[in-house]
Structures are given as structure tokens and as C-alpha cells.
Structure 1
């Protein structure tokens, strides 16, 4: 962070020196550095090059040149400049540190080790230098040297550090992790007992001790260690798993396992884990009894998160049915509330058992009945047990009991969402928000549902209730500054659905830039973490950063952006701002007239801004004092006017292929880009990857036949030396002499009950093999709506296919009518909404 006044004073001082010595390269270089911090990057580089011309052998000039490249994220050129500066001044500690941090940033571990050794030679008494060398050796894979480095520094200490020395305690624990990674578990345990027994991080030490004892087979000691951990935290599942392993309980013996969990359930009357975990392994009548006890206990307390806690059991259909049967029994009055964990018989006459008025009060405060209705609403709304009519009936009953419950209205909104009525879903979630305007969570849920309804203005207005009022750019500017990924992504998807592709690209590009910022932000931690001694957290951060772009938000945004660029390649007219969304056009005369008018207005605006702009005026800064970048393309028009959309798509595709190669959608999107670029070998590579993940995937089937048909129609766009390999690999999916129609029909017969597979087969027939069969394909597509397993998402995708084929309107209308009959509450298929 730089103070603007200090920057001005720095330039003034530099100018005074340059008046006397205009060729002083070091001063010119420092002035360039100051100008760069004001945001004038191009001028700073020009001045830095001038400094080098004046003083080619000045390490300061080369160091500044490297700093400019680093600030511009050109790490390769920065590294070259630092190394040249270090040759001129080998003992400069600042150049050595900057070089080391940059090597760490780009994961040049061998170079980082070398730089750290050089730093230690100059400053041998600083612990952080020795720790940094150990980290470098550790990450480079030389664990033995890393341990020896830490041990060497410990031997130089004249007296043992006090217990209050957090940096020393952290170094001890870090050394222990290195010993453990070397596979020397016995020595790691001995080191833990000897050196780390008084560590402030007591929980970590206890966990490692228990793990080491278990790995070494010292079961009785491991059992005691895990029991000690459970005494500290009886809600951590991993501790129970460790205890089961230490006691050598056979996991196929449910009764022995249940006895252990019952022991801890009695020790912790208010605990949940010891009661919930047995539901995972119990079966039959044992499961029914345990589930009955657990459900009644939680329902009687009115725990809202009960369904979220047990829905994982629904993967087993028998357990799902048992839960449904039990809770339906509670609703019909057959269940008995167990307040103390034991079944009690219902009294024949409550009037004889209780004083007057007690029953009425209990009825008002008893949460059991509304909790049952709430649970059943979630149960029937869940995709593995879905019955939306029953779900709506149950949630209405729950709302009657508690009209002001935010949770109940949120669930009602979710039910409307699954019905396909996004308008009512958004309105219901907005009503839930008004019931508790101070709750940030319900505020974000309401905004998300508004975005799903394409109400972008309403969503940003809601989010503005919790953003900084003074933020530049309003609520949206604050959300972008705060890197609110979920909102930016949903906002982008909303614009994409509306056909506003420029704004959608802006949002997805913002997410892409955010991940680049996270990658860049780690630079400061290379020094900060070592200075503060937080070594284990630092190593964890480095390893997390190495997989940063595996994050789901990055993958979703990257795929959506790549799909938009594919659309722009297929339909270049979408890049024109005069195009009315994805599905609209204007006549060329009107379009040219509007473009001329827009061009004139843009030129006038540019001239007016040029007059106001002062090249020497410092750039605007944000609240941290950093230069603020002006958004010159607020609507994404420049992003749309790309000369090579497929090349731009690759900027998003490459990180996906590198960090998320097992994500089918990533490989399939890459295929669409590669096949349009005539990169048939790369398209085949993506196709083989997606086929290895799921050979029966519908999209993979379509793409396999598409690539084979392309190879039949013309020679594959691959080098001649690789032609045999291409043909051999493609033949593993679709042989050269295969009858594509028969292959497609066989695929259809094998998956005739699955709507997505039938749709893929019809795509192959209509788009690849027989375009004249569009009418029959349309009729077959209509019949997919009658399939038992067909979902609302399948129906929406089918309508999109029909429109993509430009099918006859009668088929589109018939499809919409049939879909409306199957999904009567879905707004997409209602009259006036489907056009």
C-alpha cells in the first residue's frame, strides 16, 4: 500500500536529482517504479528501459525492471531480470529474497532451494531462513534434507526456547509431519512424545499420536488415545472410526459396533453423532428400531436440519422406505414421542393424567407435529423420493402450524422450483426473506431465486441490503470486489439464458480473473507465513493453490464461457449489439443505421473523455491505495467482438483439461472446441477421456459418431505420422467400417427407457445421419415425455432440441402441450410462456 502523497514526493525528489544528473540510471529506475505504482504501466516500462540504457550494469536498474515485470504478472521475464541483477550484486539480500519468492510462486523448487541456501550463508542466525530452506527441500521432495535442516538449526540453539515461543513450537510440529511423510511412523511418535508433548496445539498432537499408534498396531494405546479425543469432541466421526479400528471391531458385526456407539450415546445425552452413525450400518429391524428412536428424538425437539442429516441414507431404497413409513406413521398418530429415548404407551385419557390446561399448553408448544410435516415436505421434495404434490400438501400443513417460520417457506419455494414455476419460487423465497430481514442467508437465497427467474435488478437490490453503501459501482461493484462467486456465476447464467451474452461473458470472465487473483495473492504469503512461523498452514496453502482451478465454480464458469464462444463461432451475428439476444435478428438496413449512430456517439464520448483525461494525473485508487482499473467494457461488447472466439475459448478450456480431467462436461466442451478448430487428434483425446469416465454417456455417444462421420467424409486433420494412431484409437470407440445407423439404433434399444439417451440417439439421426428425418425425430422426441423416468430437465432439453432443429411449429406446439400435461405447474410449458 502506498500513500498518494508519498508517491508525489518521491517523484518530486527524483526530478530534483535528475535536474542535476539527467543520466543517472538508478534515479530513473526508481522514478519508473513510482510511476508504475500510480498505474501508468506503459510509461514506467519505457522509463525503466531508458534507465537500463543509461546504466546497463546497475543492479538497481535490473532489479526495478524485474519488479515491473512481476507487477505485470510476467514472471518469466521478472525471473530473468532478478537473476541478472543478482549476478551484478550477489550479496544483495533484497534481490535474493525477491528471486526466492518468485521461484516459489512459479514452483521452481530446485531454484528455490538454491536461493534459500544463498540467503542462509548471509544470515545464519534467523530461524525463518532455516525454516524456509526446509520448506523448499520438503516441497522439492527431499524430505531427509528438510529434516536435517531443521535439526541443524535446533542444534545451534544455546538454550531450549521457552514454551511461549510459538514459532519454535510450530517448527517442531512441522518437523514431525516431515518425519511422518518419510514413512518413519515409530520415529515420528517418539519425536512427538519427546519434543511436542507441551505444544500449544494440543488437539493436533493428540490426533497424530492416536494415528501413529494405530498405524504401528499398538491397539490398546491407540484405543486410549482415541477415547481421549472423543472425550474432547464426541461429534467427530473420524474419531469413532479410529476407535473402531483400534478396538479391532469387525465392521460386519453391527451389534458390536452398535454397543460401542450406545456407550457414547449414554455418555453424551445431548450428542448426535453416536446416535446418527449407527444408521449407516444397521439393517432390517435393527435399523427400523434405531431410526425410530432417532427420528422421534429429533422431531420432538424440532430440529430443522434433521432431513439434511439423514438424506444420505436414501441411497439405500429399503432405508428410504423405512424412514418414509415411520414418519408417515407419526403423522397418522401411530408414532409415540420418546422424550427420554424409550417408547412409552399413550395414555387412554390424557384428561385423567394431566391437570386442566396442561394439555392445551403442550399442544401449543409441542414441535413434533409441525416437524413431521416439515420433514415429509423435504422427503417428498428430494429427488430420490420425489412426489411434489405430497410435498406441497405437507409444507402447507407445517406452515399452518407456524406461519412465520422462515425454514418452512424456504422449503415451499424449493418445491415450486422443482415444479418448474420459477416465478412462484422466487416470490415465495422473497416472502421468506421478509420474515427475517436481518438474516444474511435467507437474503442470499432470495437473491439466488430471483436470478433463476431472471430478475437481475431485484436480486442486486436484495444483495444491496448487506453490501457496503459507499462501495464504488453500488452493490454489484461491492460483490465483485468481495469476489462473491455464487452471485457472479448465477448472474452470468441468468444473462446467458436471456441471450445477453456480453454481460454473461463479463461475469464469467470476472470469475476467471478472481481465480487468477487468488493465484497471485499467495505471493505475499511466501514472506508473511515464514515471518509469522505458520509453516504447516503455509504448506497446506501451497498444496491447495496447486489445485485451485479444480474448484466447481471455476469449472462451471469456464464451461459456460467456452459454450458462449462456441455459439459466437457458429453464429457470428450474435456478436453484434443490434442482435436481439440469441434468437433475434434485425434487417440489415436498420442494423447498419443503428451501428452508424452508435459509432458516432462512441466517437463523441471518446473525444470528450480524452479532453478530460490528464496523462500525468495519478490513476484512481481503491480503499487499499492500489490503482483502480477502469471498466472500459461494462456490457461485454468488446468480449463479444473477438476475432477468434475458439482461441478465446481455449483460455478457459486449458485449465479445465489440466486440473479437472475427470470432469465429463469439461472433456465434452473441449471436444466441441477442438472439432471446430480441426484439431481432430485433440478432439479424440477428449473423447477417449470422457468415454473412460462413462462409456454410456449420451453426449459421448453423439460425439463419437460425430467424429467418426467427420473422419469418413474427409481425411482427419492430423499429421500423417499420427494418422494410424488416430484411426486405431477411434476404432476402439467406433470402427471404420461400422454401420453408424445400426450402431445408433442399438444404442437406442439399449437405453430406450432413458430420456437423455433417447435424445442423444435422435440427435445423431437428425443432425448427422439423416437430416430429412426431422419430422419423425420430432415425433419420437415428443414420446420421450411419456417415459417414466423422464424429468423436467429432460423435457426442457427436448424443447431446446426441437427449436435447434427448427422443427415444424405443429411439433413444437404438440411437444409443449404434452409437456404441460406432464408438468402442469412448469411455467416454461404454459401458454404464452413457451414462445
Structure 2
């Protein structure tokens, strides 16, 4: 039974609540103990103490006390509410919702509990539950505009557009007088209502509504954009043209406005008869300002032949004479058209023959040979680009331009990029470091230097380079601050470098941190569910919700997830990878049992020694951080970030359930990146190892639809057949599904012959050869020597990237050092600059395409 507090203790309880809200946790706990000293089993006080302890980071103790509080007072809405908050703090929203509903059942009039429940429901995308909660909030306080807006948003995200508009319209009808023009919340709500009407498809009514609010609305740009779009949709082209011309006058570099203007004028780039009108349109805008770029660049997209050559010549000379470094970046979008590409390179190479002119610009300090300098740099970028790649020419042109401007960091960086593509990542990293040292205040070049160091597998040096622009007093030093700043490019490159070095624990740690960043981004929307409605920023809030629903289709997530899944599959296939790794220079196959044991023991000692050094370094950083915090006189009640208990990813690597750990990555990949064939392959690799036949079949079918000729598909189809033959499943429904897909699944008999036929068919494609060799190794483990021999001959048709993949394949097979050395020597004859290969066992660094 709940206890009744004395008036003094009731005052203390209210003080406890205030202290908690003020984040004065030590005083709050002291106050709670005073109350509990007289009322030992007072559930509400115990609940508030649990909430305070949880805020200090002691979750286990908080949950234990929270459960005790419930046992002592199950009929208190406070104990249930606190219990829900505890579950919410550990991101278990389902349990939190259950607790809130219990609290609401006891205290149905509590606005705070109802609000917290509504926020959790929208976070979990429980649309109907969210609508019901918002209705209750509206009934409790119908005079608050945010309650009407909140219910409208609830209907909107549930797809009930009519109901959403009705809420906004009803509230506007209750207003006795029009809000002032300075009322930004009313202005935003009016545009939000217009957005709903447009999404309903009623463009005529949306335009009428817009006309009724546009004179008083504060967001002028949004009003003009919506008006132009609606007029265009309704076919009122003359009015639309006027609207788009007004927008272009406001922002004459925004391509979308020009595209809308073209459509409003009835001009079609595909029609030859419309080309002169389009040219006249853009010339009219280009003549208005010498600084305008868009009106000069856009015509290059639709002009052809001689007209294109004339326009391209004018544009390129204008940009190159000014020395604009981004000229190639602006132009390379045209390279998809071969005819335009040929015209452009003919023009640019012709500029080298133009003699330098002395002009007034020289007296102003400009270089008379700026055209030549810019042209050389453009040619370097042209021949370094993946479509037109000729690295020898690219290197020649960049060295020429560096002679003209030896201190120009942009040109030095360009040389490093060419060397990286040549495979000389060591020299590329050195040159980029030289560029960084030339301007230590340039954050961009500092970042590029760190990236190149990571491509050279120099992780520690890359962190040191990044530390020049990080808060190094943070927990974990520079690397800890990069985690706090969610620097995904660095964490991803760092993880991939550790994969190449064979340090799978650290690699997993980095990829897990990318996973956690996306989790954080998704969780962070929780703060906006209340804030956005209260502030009236409804359209931005809708954009946020829609963005969050697709957050994990970002390429960085896919890249990290696929890498993590590959490591987990390797751990499943070879659990010894989680143990100490023997020095790669030792031929492990030649050792007897005792020598192997000694080698493993030595490796273990070396690993323990490295871990000890790392632990000492972290302890030193921790002490320095604490000293810095004391110097800053930090608030003792403030939240203190805990040091990472597993900085090297040892616990991640020693997992007993690698496939279960990989499953969350797989689920997100298949949901948000189903068109990426690597996502389907990753899903198959996990499901086939877990013997989930139908899920593996679904992935392999999807991969076949994406690209039936992909080299990775062949080996997985063969593996699927072997797994299918070995499975003992007799479920008739499963057999029926598999039978329906028999056209893409190879027959049980003759798998080896089919693989040899595949190898012969694709004898000039290195990636297909690798697929066939991996399949042969899977079918016949004794074929290692033959596979190594055929891998060596594949270099005749290979690119540098293919050669790198081939070397990685030798490592995967555990080939002897003499075999790998022979492969590297043969590859180095073809790519003499490729230090990325000369590292032997450590070589696997990829070159950016």
C-alpha cells in the first residue's frame, strides 16, 4: 500500500523533484535519503532516487531500485512514469510505452505522461497510437495551437491528408481575430496547410489558398517557389514564366529555377527547333552580369556539334584565363557524351599553343601565362579522370604546372592523387604531407593528408595529423574527439586500413562506431518531436521525419556494414582469427606441432605486450583529461563521459556468435539498400551460413535480377547448391519455392565441370577468373597449387585494382611467401610505381577509382 508523507516530507519530495530537474543530482539523492529514512518503503521517493541514479550513469542500480519502487507502490503513476523513463533511457521504447500506458491508466489527466507517450509513439512510428494520444492532448487543452498542429502532423504522417488539413482549417476557424503579420508560427502553419493540399493533388485549390496567404506570409522565397510550381502544374505557362523569372532574379545560379523557366516557356531540349530559343534565353541572362556562371554553363548540356564547340570554347577560355581551379569539376559532367568529350579535349590541348599575352592584368599582378598554367592543370585532371585515364600523361602535365607554380598546394595535391592512382601510395602520402606542411592552417589539406596516410595503412600517423584540428583533451584524445564529431569518412578509412593490416578487432571497432553513429542520428530525432511542434517549425519537421525513415541508405552505412559482415563471416569460417596472429613472414605450414605451439605462444606474448603499452597510453590520456577537467572546474553534477572499455575491439573480435552480430547490419542493408548487389551478397553470405535456405535464396534471386553476369554471383550459386544438397530439410513448401527458382540454381551433378566451363568462358576477365578460382577452392580444397598458378597468369588482363584483389586472394588462401613474392614481382613489372603491391603480405590497399 502507498504511504502518506507528512507535510514536511511532502515539501522535501517537491524539493527532490526540483533538484532532479535542475540536474543537482548529489543534493537530490541526499534529499531522497532523508525522506526514506523516515518512510523506508515510499515508492515514489524510491522512483525519483532511481531516476537520479540513472542520470549519473548507474543504470543497473537504477533499474533495481525502480523495480523495488513499483513493488512498494504499483498504484502510483509516478512509479510507472519513472519506470518508463528508465526504459526510454536505454532505448527500449516498447517497454517504455507499456509503462507509460500503465501510468496513464492510473492518472489519465496527466499532460506530461500523455506527452511522453505521444513522443515515443511517433518515434516508433505507431501512427494510430500517436493519433489517439494527440487527440487526448487536444481535448485536454484545445486552446493551444501546438495541440491542433500536432494532431494535424499525426494524421499527415499516417497518410490521412484530409484529416490533417481539417485540423488546421478547424483551428483557423476558431480564431476570433487574425494573427499579426509578425506571427511566424501562424505563417508556418499556413504554408504547412498549403503543402498538405498540394500533396492531396488539388493544385487549383492549393493555388487559391496560397494567393490568400502570400501577402502576409513571412517566408517569401517559399511562397514564390510554391506559386511557380503550382502554376506550372496547372499549365498556366505565362504566369509560371513570370514567377520563375522572378525567382531567377532572386538567385541566378540555382539550376532548378532555370529548369522551371524552360518548362514554363514550353521549351524542350530534345527538340532541335527549340535550341535557338534556349540559347537566346541563356544569352539574355549571361549578358546581364559578367560574373554569372550558370547561364553560361547550362547551354553546354543541350548544345551539339559546332554550336557546342563554340560555346564550350568561350566558356573554357573564360574560366581558364581567370585561373578557376574548379573548371574541370564544372565540365566533367559532360564527359558521359563521347562526342563532347573529344571536342573539349581538342579545345583544351589547343590552348597550349596560345602564346602568353601581356595585358593590363600583368600590371595588376596577374600572371601573363595564367592560361597555360590553368590549361596544364585541366589536362592533368582530364587524364586522371576515370573515364579518360592516362596516368603517364596526367603525371607529365602536373609536373609541368608545378614548375610554373611550385608553391601551389592545389597542384601538389593533384600530383599526389596521380601517384595514388599509379599505386604508389607511399610517395602519394609523402607529397600530400609536404602540401599539408606548406599551409598548416588549412583544414582541408590537413584532412587530405590524413586520408592518404590511411590509404598507406599508417593509422597512427593519420590520427596525429588529424589531432592538429581536434580537441585532444577529450576522452580518448584525438581519436575520441573524431568519434564525438562523428567523422565518418575517417572512421571508415581507418577501419579499412586495419582490415588491410589484418587487425580485425580494430577494424570491427571502427565499423561498429559507424553503425552507432547512424543509431544516434535516428535516436536524436526524439528531441525534435516536441521541440518542432512547440516552435511551429512543421515543414522542416516533416522533412526530418522523412529523412530519418531513409537514413540508413547512406553510402557510408552500406560501406561500413558490408565490411563488418565480411569480417564476421571470416570469423565464423575461421575462429582462430580472433586469437593472436603469427608473424606473416613465418611459413606456418612448414612448422611441426611443437613449433606451431611456440609460434602461437610468442604471438600471444607480443599481443599482450602491445595491449599493455596501449593500456598505459590510455591511462596517461585519462589522467591528462581529468587534470584538464579539474583545471576548468567542471560542474561535479555534470555528466562525465566514460572511457572506452574495449578500445581495441577485442571483445567484438572474440564473439561466440559472429553471424548473430552480423544480422543487424544485414537487416538494415536489405531494407535500405536492396538495389546494391553487394548488400544482397552480404545477406546471402550470412543466411547461407546460418542455414536459412529461403532467406539466402531470396538474396541470390535479388542479386540475379540486379546483375546476372556479376562475378560474385557464380560462386554463391554454387555454394547455395552445395548447401541445399547437404541440408536435411524435407518441408514440401520449401522444396516448392526452391523448385520455382531452379532456372538460376545449378544442377547438383557436374558443379566442377560447370565451374571449369565458366572459367574458360571468362578467361580474359580477372574478376570472373577470381570467382571461378574461389569456387574451385570451395569445391576442391586440394586445388590450391593450380589456383595459385592460374591466378598468376590472370595478370595479363588485369588492372592494378584487379592485381590488388588477386594478392588479397592469395592471403585468403594462406599461400606461402614465395608464391606471394612471385605474384608481386610479376605485378611490379607491369606497375613499377605500385608500392601498394610491394608490401607483400601487407598489400591490399585499394586505389580510388
By the TM > 0.5 criterion, same fold? yes
In the other structure, the counterpart of 1:474 is 477
Deviations 1:110-133 (A, max 9, x none): 000000000011111111111111
Structure 1 residues 626 and 735: CA distance shift in structure 2, 3 A: same
Displacement, 1:773? Answer: 5.0
> Please, what is the CA RMSD of the aligned residues?
2.9
Structure 1 residues 666 and 5: CA distance shift in structure 2, 3 A: closer
In the other structure, the counterpart of 1:343 is none
Aligned residues: 799
In the other structure, the counterpart of 2:194 is 176
Q: Is the 8 A contact 1:687 1:700 kept in 2?
A: yes
In the other structure, the counterpart of 1:262 is 283
Structure 1 residues 14 and 373: CA distance shift in structure 2, 3 A: same
Q: Give, in whole Å, the separation in 2 of the partners of 1:501 and 1:805.
A: 17
Among candidates 544, 567, 573, match of residue 564 of structure 1: 567
In the other structure, the counterpart of 2:692 is 679
Deviations 1:321-377 (A, max 9, x none): 2211111111133xx89xxxxxxxx9xxx8xxx89xx97988835421110110111
Among candidates 626, 649, 652, match of residue 665 of structure 2: 652
Query: 1:61-76 alignment to 2 at 5 Å?
Result: 61-76=79-94
In the other structure, the counterpart of 2:491 is 488
In the other structure, the counterpart of 1:501 is 504
In the other structure, the counterpart of 1:58 is 76
In the other structure, the counterpart of 2:710 is 697
In the other structure, the counterpart of 2:835 is 827
Query: 1:592-607 alignment to 2 at 5 Å?
Result: none
Displacement, 1:711? Answer: 2.8
Q: Give, in whole Å, the separation in 2 of the partners of 1:404 and 1:424.
A: 18
Displacement, 1:646? Answer: 1.2
In the other structure, the counterpart of 1:210 is 228
Structure 1 residues 234 and 449: CA distance shift in structure 2, 3 A: same
In the other structure, the counterpart of 1:321 is 342
Structure 1 residues 75 and 831: CA distance shift in structure 2, 3 A: closer
Deviations 1:123-157 (A, max 9, x none): 11111111111000000111001001011111111
Q: Give, in whole Å, the separation in 1 of the partners of 2:789 and 2:600.
A: 37
User: Tell me, what secondary structure is at the counterpart of 2:468?
Assistant: coil
Q: Does 1:121 align with 2:150?
A: no
Q: Is the 8 A contact 2:583 2:603 kept in 1?
A: no
Q: Give, in whole Å, the separation in 1 of the partners of 2:230 and 2:586.
A: 63
Q: Does 1:553 align with 2:556?
A: yes
Q: Is the 8 A contact 1:409 1:429 kept in 2?
A: yes
In the other structure, the counterpart of 2:5 is none
In the other structure, the counterpart of 1:423 is 426
Q: Is the 8 A contact 2:412 2:435 kept in 1?
A: yes
Query: 1:84-95 alignment to 2 at 5 Å?
Result: 84-95=102-113
Query: 1:273-288 alignment to 2 at 5 Å?
Result: 273-288=294-309
Among candidates 613, 628, 642, match of residue 655 of structure 2: 642
Worse-superposed segment, 682-691 or 144-153:
682-691
Displacement, 1:528? Answer: 0.9
In the other structure, the counterpart of 2:377 is 374
Q: Is the 8 A contact 1:566 1:673 kept in 2?
A: yes
The TM-score with structure 1 as length reference comes to 0.90
Deviations 1:148-191 (A, max 9, x none): 10111111111111111111100111111100000000111111
Q: Give, in whole Å, the separation in 2 of the partners of 1:554 and 1:582.
A: 35
Q: Is the 8 A contact 1:573 1:579 kept in 2?
A: no
In the other structure, the counterpart of 2:771 is 760
Structure 1 residues 811 and 627: CA distance shift in structure 2, 3 A: closer
In the other structure, the counterpart of 2:367 is 364
Q: Is the 8 A contact 1:499 1:583 kept in 2?
A: no
Q: Give, in whole Å, the separation in 1 of the partners of 2:786 and 2:635.
A: 61
Worse-superposed segment, 621-630 or 431-440:
621-630
User: Tell me, what secondary structure is at the counterpart of 1:235?
Assistant: coil
Structure 1 residues 745 and 209: CA distance shift in structure 2, 3 A: farther
Query: 1:450-469 alignment to 2 at 5 Å?
Result: 450-469=453-472
Among candidates 439, 442, 452, match of residue 442 of structure 2: 439
Q: Does 1:628 align with 2:641?
A: yes
In the other structure, the counterpart of 2:293 is 272
Displacement, 1:494? Answer: 1.2
Structure 1 residues 227 and 727: CA distance shift in structure 2, 3 A: same
Q: Give, in whole Å, the separation in 2 of the partners of 1:449 and 1:648.
A: 31
Query: 1:40-439 alignment to 2 at 5 Å?
Result: 40-252=58-270, 253=272, 254-333=275-354, 364-439=367-442
Q: Which runs of 5+ in 2 are unaligned?
A: 1-18, 589-594, 620-628, 844-849
User: Tell me, what secondary structure is at the counterpart of 2:457?
Assistant: coil
In the other structure, the counterpart of 1:540 is 543
Deviations 1:493-528 (A, max 9, x none): 111111111111111111111111111111111111
Q: Is the 8 A contact 2:224 2:247 kept in 1?
A: yes
Displacement, 1:754? Answer: 3.0
Q: Is the 8 A contact 2:711 2:768 kept in 1?
A: yes
Q: Which runs of 5+ in 1 are unaligned?
A: 338-345, 610-618
Q: Is the 8 A contact 2:334 2:340 kept in 1?
A: yes
Q: Is the 8 A contact 2:351 2:375 kept in 1?
A: yes
Q: Is the 8 A contact 1:785 1:795 kept in 2?
A: yes
